[in-house]
């Protein structure tokens, strides 16, 4: 495994729509492992492939709860319920945070690294992190949705 460079605000790759994964290859599995290592190396709770310069619909999320580490390929939100607003940050925007309104609970479908279909229901912080990462796959950044963007008041995990 290897650390990848996290692309920062202003890098055009962050604005591109990522492409659906058609075939799970060894190269893709290496990408997933590298993304996990990169995310943990900076205490992140989520990372999307475009953030390491790869335009594929792949995300990793770990909000340190009972769901553990999630590696998702071609994730799609299939259901939404409720809304809530909370603070968010992003590994591509170090040092800033903003208040973002998200769906409180979501249903999600994706492929796991073995190509098996997975379906999960997430709420709260996990739902927030997943929505944030899926936004990255569409070239959408949290600053597009945030109000009250400010310097980070305290150390908080990024996405």
State the residue number with the nearest CB to Ni ion: 90
Cβ closer to Ni ion: 17 or 114? 17
Q: Which residues are catalytic?
A: 133
Rounded Cα distance, 102 and 86, in Å? 8
Rounded Cα distance, 51 and 136, in Å? 8
CB of 112 to Ni ion, least distance (A): 22
Cβ closer to Ni ion: 70 or 90? 90
Cβ closer to Ni ion: 25 or 42? 42
CB of 34 to Ni ion, least distance (A): 17
Q: Is 63 helix (H, G, I), strand (E, B) or coil?
A: coil
By the criterion CB under 5 A, which residues form the site for Ni ion?
Answer: 90, 159
Distances (CA, A) of 140 to 16, 91, 117: 9, 14, 25
């Amino acid at each position: 495994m290897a650390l990848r460079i996290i692309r920062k605000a202003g890098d055009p790759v962050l604005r591109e729509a990522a492409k659906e994964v058609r075939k799970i290859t060894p190269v893709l599995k290496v990408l997933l492992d590298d993304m996990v290592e990169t995310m943990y190396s900076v205490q992140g709770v989520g990372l999307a492939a475009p953030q390491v310069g790869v335009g594929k619909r792949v995300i990793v999320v770990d909000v340190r709860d009972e769901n553990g580490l999630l590696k998702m390929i071609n994730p799609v939100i299939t259901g939404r319920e409720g809304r809530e607003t909370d603070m968010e940050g992003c590994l591509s925007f170090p040092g800033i945070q903003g208040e973002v309104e998200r769906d409180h609970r979501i249903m999600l479908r994706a492929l796991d690294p073995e190509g098996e279909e997975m379906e999960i229901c997430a709420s709260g912080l996990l739902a927030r992190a997943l929505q944030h990462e899926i936004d990255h796959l569409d070239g959408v950044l949290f600053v597009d949705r945030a109000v009250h963007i400010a310097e980070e008041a305290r150390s908080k995990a990024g996405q």
